């Protein structure tokens, strides 16, 4: 089963690499082609967040381990954490943004790699974080001003914060962090090398290509939907039925639709409301990133506690 998952993800990495190159060439050759943030939002709402739509099943599994029978206890905690993230973001936007980027970096690095690297030693945890940091640091490295403009839309208005980022840029600290992330990708690629490790190699160059040619929002959307989300969904599909992928896919879609649909409705209502106070594209960016943060924190906490208690 392990070899099957590794083979499946290697094929996926190759297809993603080819698509990333093809899409980047199209965008590069058509400078006037503008893809609306709304398109990115719709992709994230349908393909992106669907990989977390089975959290209720995982939550029930965790409650069973803890000896708690009331599923509404899980829903209450999950929703409470989501709302707290949104509220804290409004009062402490810099702290929440930085925390989100740090936590998301570790999550991306671990989830995109742990089908190859089983050892969860402290050293590997650090390399997971540095690997996933590429998703955050590549936009700053290739599109510094455009990335800062996204931060400003997300209520991060402190001049000191941008002055500090400017120092990091001027003294090449961002480039150094970028190189550390590059090194971590090659370290994980070379460590205990096997043919399936080419997934890491292909993913690394796909992310670089996307962030070099595309805007930060578009590069993130492409990565989040078509690499991270689909890869995580593969593991869920196989978990549902490890003997028949098609049947597992059908079961996954059937179970994912209810929560995904509810999330889409909440997002669109929020977007409609915010568009009364902000420009539509700005409102869309707020919904995308602050909304993702509100879902990411409880999602990662659930993964952590489930993994810890299963052990």
Tens of pLDDT, residue by residue over 130-162, are: 999 999 999 999 999 999 999 999 999 999 999
Segment 17-38 mean pLDDT: 90
Q: What is the DSSP string of 165-176?
A: HHHHHHTTHHHH
pLDDT at 252 over 80: yes
Tokens of 178: 């970028």
Segment 114-121 mean pLDDT: 77
Q: What pLDDT, on the 0 to 100 scale, is given for residue 1? A: 66
> Are 105 and 129 within 8 A, CB to CB?
yes
pLDDT tens string 192-217: 888 889 999 999 999 999 999 999 99
pLDDT at 311 over 70: no
pLDDT at 304 over 90: no
Q: What is the DSSP letter of 92?
A: -
Specify the range with the lowest mean pLDDT, choosing from 17-31, 118-132, 209-223, 283-297: 118-132
Please state, in angstroms and as integers, the Cα–Cα distance from residue 120 to each residue in 16, 114, 115, 193, 194, following that order: 26, 9, 12, 17, 18
Q: What pLDDT, on the 0 to 100 scale, is given for residue 118? A: 66
- Distance in angstroms (rounded) separating the CA atoms of residues 235 and 232: 5
For residue 53, name the pLDDT band (cuts at 50, 70, 90). confident
């Amino acid at each position: 089963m392990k070899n099957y998952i590794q083979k499946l993800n290697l094929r996926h990495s190759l297809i993603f690499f080819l698509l990333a190159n093809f899409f980047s060439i199209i965008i590069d050759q058509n400078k006037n082609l503008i893809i609306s943030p709304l398109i990115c939002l719709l992709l994230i709402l349908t393909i992106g967040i669907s990989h977390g739509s089975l959290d209720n099943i995982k939550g029930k599994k965790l409650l069973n381990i803890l000896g708690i029978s009331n599923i509404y206890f899980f829903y209450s905690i999950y929703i409470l954490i989501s709302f707290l993230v949104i509220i804290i973001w409004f009062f402490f936007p810099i702290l929440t943004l930085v925390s989100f980027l740090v936590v998301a970096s570790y999550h991306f690095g671990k989830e995109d790699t742990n089908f190859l690297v089983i050892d969860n030693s402290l050293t590997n945890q650090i390399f997971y974080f540095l690997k996933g940091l590429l998703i955050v640091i590549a936009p700053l490295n290739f599109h510094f001003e455009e990335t800062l403009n996204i931060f400003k839309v997300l209520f991060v208005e402190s001049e000191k914060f941008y002055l500090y980022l400017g120092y990091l840029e001027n003294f090449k600290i961002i480039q150094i962090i970028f190189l550390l992330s590059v090194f971590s990708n090659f370290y994980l690629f070379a460590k205990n090398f096997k043919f399936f490790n080419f997934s890491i190699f292909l993913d690394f160059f796909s992310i670089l290509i996307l962030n070099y040619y595309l805007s930060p929002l578009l590069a993130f959307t492409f990565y989040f939907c078509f690499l991270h989300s689909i890869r995580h969904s593969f593991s869920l599909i196989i978990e549902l039925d490890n003997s028949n992928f098609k049947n597992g896919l059908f079961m996954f879609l059937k179970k994912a639709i209810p929560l995904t649909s509810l999330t889409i409705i909440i997002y669109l209502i929020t977007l409609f409301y915010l568009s009364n106070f902000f420009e539509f594209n700005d409102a869309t960016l707020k919904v995308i990133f602050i909304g993702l943060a509100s879902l990411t924190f409880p999602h990662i906490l659930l993964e952590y506690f489930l993994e810890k208690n299963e052990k």
